[in-house]
Amino acid sequence: MSIQKKVAFYTLGCKLNFSETSTIARDFSQEGFLRVDFSEKADLYVINTCSVTENADKRFKTIVKQALKTNPEAFVVAIGCYAQLKPEQLADVNGVDLVLGATEKFKITEYIHSLEKKDRGQVHSCAIEEADFYVGSYSFGDRTRAFLKVQDGCDYKCTYCTIPLARGISRSDTLENILKNAKKISEKGIKEIVLTGVNIGDYGKGEFGNKKHDHTFFELIQSLDGVKGVKRIRISSIEPNLLKNEAIEFVAQSKRFVPHFHIPLQSGSNDLLKKMKRRYLRELYQDRVQKIKYTMPDACIGVDVIVGFPGETDAHFMETYHFLNELDISYLHVFTYSERANTEAAIMENPVPLPVRNKRSKMLRVLSVKKRRAFYESQLGTTRTVLFENENKKGYMYGFTENYVKVKTPWKPELANTLQTVTLTKIDKDGNVRFEFVNKEVLC
């Protein structure tokens, strides 16, 4: 009788990576592998890499060492964006046995013929131009929420970004398949779906391998709104130029789509937005925020911003700071610019010194804390619905309202993965919101 092989996964980066890891994990289950936690001893460790920031690159070696410390004889596979961009570099990392590129990762079980350690990692990676077909993915079982991939790749040419080099052209899942996957997720009892992709506002392009749009993002959310069993649908990051009034107005009246938007800004300076080759100016961004807040006053709005882009002067940075300070937004994701190989920005003149980048990053992180606090304070006294997560964190559990207010309460296992109506009452010393139950019965 053969002993069942064990496989463990570690995912770096975005929600899209998490959805793909979950799909790849199901492929291993179908091949007879038993999935275990990454901290446990496994025969095979799969690391899904990211290359958006320099830190994600550096973390890879640490994660490999962690796996081999648990089992020195384990077979280690690298997949994901960094594996596509720097396959030979990853193959040289001590202990790595196999590196798979953007298309090969979805056929990972076909490349594993033996789990014997290699002297050097083997590389199977196509040219990124060949990554022109779509592979659908979705997650469940890993978290309370499910990440549903609807789109992949990007046709934008932002001067700082490696994603088009790592994931290829913009292409979309078919509307029929997305609705089918959403139904599968709802049948598993998962209460919330998060739509994810590289550039989800571009949904419909390449849906059937065509260059044109067969459907639009607006048609996508209209269709998903009719899927029975789904309690909540959350839109992940969407470009401001692709977030149209019709979509905002639809979310405002929807019973499933929640009032939470994450909209990349990157800079509040029009000069820098042009250097970044973004497809909008700050005026359009401001208009999107005002439209959301006019339509949904309690909506949560998150913002991506990059500090230290080449040529960013003190005046440029303060322009961004004041722009964000005056906007009615809820929190920031701050990225300190780092040079990425094969991007236009990497060879631009007037790089910003690292200490200056770090100082500016700290200023915006402090601003983010203030913005989140102000948003949370504006929500005190309101009645919201919370989806509780299923982790016991030092005797406490957390959850999120529909408009992304994070709440905290003592651990009660019966609340996990349930929706509860609560009244938000106060903010604790850690910045989490406390509440009172409107009723203590489990809603669903």
Q: What is the pLDDT of residue 57?
A: 64
Task: Count CA atoms within 13 Å of residue 224 on its CB side.
Answer: 36
Q: Is 417 left (phi over 0), alpha (psi -120 to 50) or beta?
A: left
Among 274, 367, 361, which Cα is nearest to 324's? 367
* Residue 219 pLDDT: 98
Residues 6+ apart with CB under 8 A from 230: 182, 185, 186, 193, 224, 256
Instruction: Give per-residue pLDDT as tens, 203-213.
Output: 999 887 777 88
Element (H, E) at 336: strand 331-336
Q: What is the pLDDT of residue 14?
A: 84
Which fold is adopted by the domain 130-258? Transcription Regulator spoIIAA (3.30.750)
In 3D, which of 158, 199, 211, 207 has the Cα closest to residue 178? Answer: 207
Backbone dihedral region for residue 15 (phi beyond 0: left; psi -120 to 50: alpha; all else: beta): alpha
Q: Give the β-pairing of 331-336 and 300-307.
A: parallel
Give Cα 238 distance to the centre of its chain.
11
E strand or H helix at 328, and its extent?
none
Q: Is 42 helix (H, G, I), strand (E, B) or coil?
A: coil
| Within this chain, domains 6-126 and 130-258 share the same CATH topology | no
CB 42 within 8 A of CB 63: no
pLDDT, position 74 = 96
**Residue count (the chain):** 444
Task: For residue 279, count CB atoms less than 10 angstroms from its CB and return exposed for 0-12, middle for 13-18, buried for 19 or more.
Answer: middle
Instruction: Give me the residue label for tokens 């994600």.
Output: 56
Architecture of domain 262-375: 2-Layer Sandwich (3.30)
Q: Locate 338 and state its tokens.
A: 């780092």
CA atoms within 13 A on the CB side of 389: 17
The CATH superfamily assigned to 6-126 is Methylthiotransferase, N-terminal domain (3.40.50.12160)
Q: Whose CA is closest to 93, among 55, 67, 60?
A: 60
The whole-number pLDDT of residue 56 equals 63
Q: Which residue has the tokens 């592998």?
A: 33
Domain boundaries, the chain: 6-126, 130-258, 262-375, 383-437
> How far apart (Å, rounded) are the C-alpha atoms in residues 103 and 10?
19
Q: Name which of 136, 309, 150, 305 is nearest 235 in CA terms.
A: 150
Angle at which helices 314-326 and 354-379 cross, to 10°: 10
CA distances from 265 to 39, 260, 434 (A): 37, 16, 31
Query: What is the rounded CA–CA span in Å between residue 216 and residue 214?
Result: 7
The H-or-E segment that residue 364 falls in is helix 354-379
Phi and psi, residue 226, nearest 5° = -95, 0
Region at 222 (left for phi over 0; alpha for psi -120 to 50; beta for the rest): alpha
Along the 444 residues of the chain, how does pLDDT read in single tens digits? Answer: 468 999 999 999 888 999 999 999 999 999 999 999 999 999 999 999 987 666 666 789 999 999 999 999 999 999 999 999 999 999 999 999 999 999 999 999 999 888 888 889 999 988 888 887 888 899 876 668 999 999 999 999 999 999 999 999 999 999 999 999 999 999 999 999 999 999 999 999 988 777 788 899 999 999 999 999 999 999 989 999 999 999 999 999 999 999 999 999 999 999 999 999 999 999 999 999 999 999 999 999 999 999 999 999 999 999 999 999 999 999 999 999 999 989 999 999 999 999 999 999 999 999 999 999 999 999 999 999 999 999 999 999 999 999 999 999 999 999 999 999 999 999 999 999 999 999 765 544
Interacting residues of 84 by C-beta distance below 8 A, sequence separation 6+: 101, 102, 125, 128, 131, 165, 166, 167
* 359 CB-near residues (< 8 Å, 6+ apart): none
pLDDT value, residue 441 = 55
86-131: pLDDT as tens digits: 999 999 999 999 999 999 999 999 998 888 888 899 999 888 888 8
Closest CA to 190 of 441, 419, 392, 442: 419
pLDDT score of 142:
60
